[in-house]
Amino acid sequence: MKPDLSVRIGKLDFKNPVMVASGTFGYAEEFGDFIDLKKLGAIVTKTITIKPRLGNLPPRTCETPAGMLNSIGLENPGIDKFIKEKMPFLKKLGIPVIVSIASVDDPGEFTILVKQLDTIKEVSAIELNISCPNLHKERLISQDAKDTFALVSSARKLTEKCLITKLSPNVTSVSEIALAAEEAGSDAVALINTLGGMSIDVDKRTPKIGSWSGGLSGPAIRPVAVKMVWEAYNKIKIPIIGSGGIIDIQSALEFFIAGATAISVGTINFINPRASLEIISGLKEYMADNNIHNLSNLIGRLKACDS
């Protein structure tokens, strides 16, 4: 039996459910020497803004127990340069390209970005990053259900393309926000973005990263992410793209069983660029070993503990 790894999100078909997470894989070309990019389920680009951004003050990353803190601050070339210099490579890949976008000063910037990306055939989906913790805003769009609804609704009116809304774990109820995204017409939600965190150099008595605090990622946040996927799965009907500390097949399986239709692989790319391909092979093997023909027979199949 050949396991069927394909999944559907909105109107988009993916040959397998393993993507690479925004900001951890550049614009894919950077990883072309390490892995066969065509084997990935999809690529999610580094988040793009209207204008180019240099990002936050260094140091921008530091190691933490079982993870890392980052405060990159959305360094990117801006939409025009992205389309001119990065899209030609992505267009040739032949796998779904998901372009992540964010606003910096005004949510209206999303409108401009969506309109521009809507005209490019090879952009398969748009991911609305409303959850970046490193712009040091008082409140993120994804920290408020009404703001999330308004933003996603306005994007929905502008494009037929698959829309994914990326959510923050820095909230009281992620499922409430996921529901707002669903009701506004999002085709899927991606969760989780990084968890707010801080590390201190006790000798210098300074923060370890230049902008004081940042976003925590890696295996340290996995249990938080798995719980949030499970909570959202029990509340919404649209697909969930799970992320947070996925490093291998075992950790990936946790997300599918909790309710994720697809996963995105992040921090581990810096350590093992082959991790996503290893997970695809591991998934085929697990499905064959457990007589699971179709991934839908695994998604959300969490059972209660044996008593």
| Residue numbers at the binding site for ligand FMN (CB under 6 A) | 21-24, 46-47, 68, 70, 72, 74, 100, 129, 132, 166, 193-194, 217-218, 221, 243-246, 266-267
Specify the residue, 46 or 292, whose C-beta has the smaller distance to ligand FMN: 46
Specify the residue, 70 or 292, whose C-beta has the smaller distance to ligand FMN: 70
Residue 132 among the catalytic residues: yes
- Active-site position among 62, 132, 162, 305: 132
171 phi-psi bin (left φ>0, alpha ψ -120 to 50, beta other) = beta
Query: What are the structure tokens assigned to 269, written together?
Result: 């790319």
Choose among 77, 241, 82, 247: nearest CA to 166. 241
Specify the residue, 195 or 292, whose C-beta has the smaller distance to ligand FMN: 195
Calculate the alpha carbon distances from 191 to 76, 86, 131 in Å.
Answer: 22, 25, 10
Q: Which of 6-10's residues contact partners 24+ apart within 8 Å by CB, and which partners? A: 6/295, 7/41, 7/239, 7/261, 7/262, 7/295, 8/239, 9/125, 9/162, 9/164, 9/187, 9/188, 9/239, 9/241, 9/261, 9/262, 10/125, 10/162, 10/163, 10/187, 10/188
| Residue closest to ligand FMN when measured from CB atoms | 23
Q: Quick one: angle between helices 249-258 and 222-233, nearest 10?
A: 30
**Cβ of residue 302: shortest distance to ligand FMN, in angstroms?**
21
**Cβ of residue 237: shortest distance to ligand FMN, in angstroms?**
22
- Check residue 305 and report its DSSP letter: P
**Cβ of residue 245: shortest distance to ligand FMN, in angstroms?**
4
Specify the residue, 270 or 297, whose C-beta has the smaller distance to ligand FMN: 270
Specify the residue, 16 or 292, whose C-beta has the smaller distance to ligand FMN: 16
**Cβ of residue 178: shortest distance to ligand FMN, in angstroms?**
15
**Cβ of residue 129: shortest distance to ligand FMN, in angstroms?**
4
CA separation for the pair 268, 299 (Å, rounded): 23
- State the catalytic residues: 132
